Structure 1
Amino acid sequence: MKRLVILGGGESGAGAARLGKKLGYEVFLSDKGKLADKYKEVLEELGVEYEEGQHTETKIFTADIVVKSPGIPDKLPMIVGLRERGIEVISEIEFAGRHTDAKMYCITGSNGKTTTTLLLYHILKEAGYDVGLAGNVGNSLAAQVADNLHRVYVVELSSFQLDGMFRFRCDTAILTNITPDHLDRYDYKFENYARSKFRILNNMRAEDLFIYGYDCDVVRERVEQENIVPKAAGFTYSADNRLNAYMDGNTVIARWGERTFCIDKKEITIQGRHNVYNAMAAILAALKAGVSDANLRKGLTTFPQVEHRLETVEVIEGVTYINDSKATNVDSTWYALDSMHAPVVWIAGGTDKGNDYSVLFDLVREKVKLLICMGVDNKKLIDSFSPICEVVDTHSLEDTMKVASTRAVSGDVVLLSPCCASFDLFKNYENRGELFKEKVRELKEFCD
């Protein structure tokens, strides 16, 4: 019996354990941290041996194959040691992909990938497709392959997941954009990070489709320089009708094959330039999938807001509170500020990832009346923006909300778009967003 070792016991790890048991592997799961109770229950129900709070190398190095959580760096001595011993180390997505022939619609990019993933899934589901949602959103792909197999999957892929994928093939791949992010995992070399994103093209065939953001210089230049095997379809916010998706005034036009689909951007439920990009990518993928015009329009006009991504929480005494906690890098915040049409009280801060804030300066001058820095150490933000707008330094969500509610007036927007990771004050960006929404709703109750 072959031995499967799983490193990391979250959603992907528990899913890999479920698939491994179904395939007849001897399964052992190891997590350096503490396992959540719901995942312990899954492992115990499956009869999987596991450990938490440590990695026992004598048990790990006996593996025939290892499925590694994307959060574990490849440079970790234990991972290096596994590979030196010739033990294959792969991601959960790679493991699942080896055991299904379902069609894979996969999305990556520095920004926009979650919204694009959820939008495409919504369109296909509303159109009646047998479709599953997996990757960074939805349930584990491996668990679904084991117990709830669909004919089509829409999969959000991070660069970390792509790094652990070797034989996996996308039928349709979307690359939204590439901007500096996670450089600490890539030797602080942007080229390494960009190369990781382009791994989404691995193993694709001439009949497959690669959809890419033409307006991103890094993506466009690589597409033009490299020999791209699948058919390539670019999308742009400009009126360049040489591309497969482009703008004609306020109308989004998308073409694939002999079909052309048009929709006024105001009809799409999610607004802002960044969401036009997301919609274009999803439309092109849906056209490739054969979704009818009527079902495409239905999907685009019924798609709900994405949690933690420009999510309107409440309007209190004329002030609109927006949760954009998922904006953990500069580019995401650029799109958030660009979509604002009212004076902004901007809340930013957290764990800086080597950010260059200069690309935000013009937008901040134009749109921001007050920046509230919320973090343990806000020096870099303060130094960067003090010459441009008024800045207030806070070190807790409570203090931040006091300042925001005092300074914002009717007609203003209070925008949480942090530009930074959340780990200094919060567990993750979801936790940051949830707590922000709680505080906003408490404020509404008080004002009512």
Structure 2
Amino acid sequence: MQYLNEIKSKQITVLGLGVTGLGIVRFLLSQGFTPKVVDSRANPPGIDWLKEHAPMLNTHFGNLDDAALSSSDIIIVSPGLSLKIPAIAHAINSGVEVIGDVELFARINTKPVVAVTGSNGKSTVVTLAYEVLKEAGYKVALGGNIGTAVLDLLSDDFDVYVLELSSFQLDTTTSLKPISATVLNVSEDHLDRYDSYQAYIDSKLSIYNSAELIVVNTDDIQTYPINSGVTPQVSFGAQHGDYHLAPHNGETHFIVKGEAFLAVSTLAVVGKHNYLNALAVMALLSPFEVNKKQYKNALSQFNGLAHRCQFVAEQNGVKYFNDSKATNVGATIAAIDSLASDGENLIVIAGGDSKGADLNALKPYIKQHVKALICFGKDANELAAITNKSYLTNNMEEAVTLAKVLSRNGNIVLLAPACASIDMYNNYMQRGEHFVECVMAEQL
């Protein structure tokens, strides 16, 4: 906590009072700081907690131009706020240091960190890594862009931290020094926030800057660091890499540095994307002491995460999967690729807010594996235009009803929206839950 002593006299502003912002405020208060709290909303979430627990704090709720941000020494900004917002950009140009909660964590923490980013699969990988380390006897913490805010993790003494990090969090992080780090994959996302696709990729790749071990995906060259330098690298991939998949004794196995390690059937969840996630975990955890039995126990008990290619039900020979977390094109491609058979066996429900992404990358996968593409939401017309197999509907109820009409024995109905949910739902979880409700409603 030496860094905290160094900034005791600094004027600190917490910008953004969502879940992250409130966590920052609580942490600073616990360390004896009295930060200023600023939010552009007149009545932000968390304001009632502030009024009850910290009424003494100086606050500004409303137009950021009137918040005097440039009078701060340090601004700790929530990841949902772009650094290009004029008031924030002006503060930066005035010499104010703008960081995120992950950066503050990095300046304080002294324990090993496993850091994971990527367009898809982050939550699954960090959760599985957490379970494996726990099975191996480590006292491990899981947080960041999943579950617990990173600063809340400092209240206990852990052996290792496993962090899921978004590009937004990485944009305000420079001091993190992971023991291992990976960019799992990269596909177009958040182009409404970045100037270009390359800017988004560069944000992801910054996770490697001070990592001791870099883990790359041989199936996605965009996950490779721009300047490899002398940092050790290991790789994972479907067919190539230090960690890959290959047949052994008549069954597909996880291959670890040339040796058959465990059969993929050890993993409780199925699908190629899940096997790749497990390989990524093995590569990331190579600096730790984990034996085959511990891996076997953890993998066999891991049932996946809700809304991530989650099996919902089988009705009249048709299986239904909820992948509402597929909020970008790459995630939808991964879901289709994982569940597809040789023919056109999938009925895909998609749509929402595409965030400016190029949807055409879906075309070859729809052509080869998809029987029907059912679209709804803000960018439904744009999505439907990429194939002559498309159908337009007004909402989830209509989409699921149509899917039940079109499906036949042996088909799979997959919710994999390729879009954000914000046009119609509070979040992807609510969207996935609504899909499940519609599937489980009275059958046709």
Same fold (TM over 0.5): yes
- The yes-or-no answer on 1:144 pairing with 2:153 is yes
Q: Deviations over 1:276-329 (max 9, x none)?
A: 221111012223211122111111111122111101122233322211111111
Name the counterpart of 1:180: 188
CA contact (8 A) 1:12 1:142 kept: no
CA contact (8 A) 1:2 1:26 kept: no
Q: Given the superposition, is the C-alpha separation of residues 252 and 422 from structure 1 closer, same or farther in structure 2, using an over 3 Å criterion?
A: same
- The yes-or-no answer on 1:369 pairing with 2:371 is yes
Q: How does 1:21-420 map to 2 (within 5 A)?
A: 21-33=29-41, 34-36=43-45, 40-41=48-49, 44-46=52-54, 49=57, 50-55=59-64, 57-145=66-154, 147-187=155-195, 189-204=196-211, 208-220=212-224, 223=225, 226-238=227-239, 240=240, 243-249=241-247, 250-255=252-257, 262-341=261-340, 343-386=345-388, 389=389, 391-420=390-419
Q: Deviations over 1:228-253 (max 9, x none)?
A: 34210011211x4xx32122221111
Q: Secondary structure at the match of 1:248?
A: strand
Q: Secondary structure at the match of 2:430?
A: helix
Q: How does 1:1-16 map to 2 (within 5 A)?
A: 1-16=9-24
For 1:341 and 1:419, the matched residues in 2 are separated by 17
For 2:201 and 2:266, the matched residues in 1 are separated by 33
How far the C-alpha of 1:47 sits from its partner, in A, is 5.1
CA contact (8 A) 2:179 2:287 kept: no
Q: Given the superposition, is the C-alpha separation of residues 59 and 26 from structure 1 closer, same or farther in structure 2, using an over 3 Å criterion?
A: farther
CA contact (8 A) 1:3 1:25 kept: no
How far the C-alpha of 1:427 sits from its partner, in A, is 1.9
Q: Given the superposition, is the C-alpha separation of residues 48 and 282 from structure 1 closer, same or farther in structure 2, using an over 3 Å criterion?
A: farther
User: What runs of 5+ residues in structure 1 fail to find an aligned partner?
Assistant: none
For 1:48 and 1:62, the matched residues in 2 are separated by 19
Q: Given the superposition, is the C-alpha separation of residues 370 and 65 from structure 1 closer, same or farther in structure 2, using an over 3 Å criterion?
A: same
Name the counterpart of 2:4: none
Q: Given the superposition, is the C-alpha separation of residues 61 and 166 from structure 1 closer, same or farther in structure 2, using an over 3 Å criterion?
A: same
For 1:48 and 1:417, the matched residues in 2 are separated by 47
Q: Deviations over 1:316-343 (max 9, x none)?
A: 3332221111111111111111112462
Name the counterpart of 1:430: 429
CA contact (8 A) 2:182 2:208 kept: no
Q: Which moved more, 1:48-57 or 1:19-28?
A: 48-57
Q: Deviations over 1:413-439 (max 9, x none)?
A: 111000111122112222211222222
How far the C-alpha of 1:23 sits from its partner, in A, is 2.7
How far the C-alpha of 1:19 sits from its partner, in A, is 1.9
Q: Secondary structure at the match of 1:196?
A: helix
Q: Secondary structure at the match of 1:26?
A: coil
How far the C-alpha of 1:46 sits from its partner, in A, is 4.8
How far the C-alpha of 1:54 sits from its partner, in A, is 4.7
For 2:99 and 2:294, the matched residues in 1 are separated by 37
For 2:409 and 2:56, the matched residues in 1 are separated by 57
The percent identity for this pair of structures is: 32
Q: Deviations over 1:169-226 (max 9, x none)?
A: 1111111112222122221x2221111111101223xxx2111111102224xx4x62
Q: Given the superposition, is the C-alpha separation of residues 350 and 315 from structure 1 closer, same or farther in structure 2, using an over 3 Å criterion?
A: same
How far the C-alpha of 1:11 sits from its partner, in A, is 2.2
Q: Given the superposition, is the C-alpha separation of residues 213 and 40 from structure 1 closer, same or farther in structure 2, using an over 3 Å criterion?
A: farther
For 2:52 and 2:10, the matched residues in 1 are separated by 20
Q: Secondary structure at the match of 1:111?
A: coil
Q: Given the superposition, is the C-alpha separation of residues 58 and 374 from structure 1 closer, same or farther in structure 2, using an over 3 Å criterion?
A: closer
Q: Given the superposition, is the C-alpha separation of residues 42 and 170 from structure 1 closer, same or farther in structure 2, using an over 3 Å criterion?
A: farther
Q: Given the superposition, is the C-alpha separation of residues 295 and 42 from structure 1 closer, same or farther in structure 2, using an over 3 Å criterion?
A: farther
CA contact (8 A) 2:60 2:67 kept: no
For 1:317 and 1:89, the matched residues in 2 are separated by 56
CA contact (8 A) 1:18 1:142 kept: no
How far the C-alpha of 1:362 sits from its partner, in A, is 2.8
User: What runs of 5+ residues in structure 2 fail to find an aligned partner?
Assistant: 1-8
For 1:227 and 1:409, the matched residues in 2 are separated by 50
Q: Given the superposition, is the C-alpha separation of residues 398 and 248 from structure 1 closer, same or farther in structure 2, using an over 3 Å criterion?
A: closer
Q: Secondary structure at the match of 2:75?
A: strand
For 1:173 and 1:363, the matched residues in 2 are separated by 30
How far the C-alpha of 1:403 sits from its partner, in A, is 1.5
CA contact (8 A) 1:134 1:141 kept: yes
TM value normalised by structure 1: 0.89
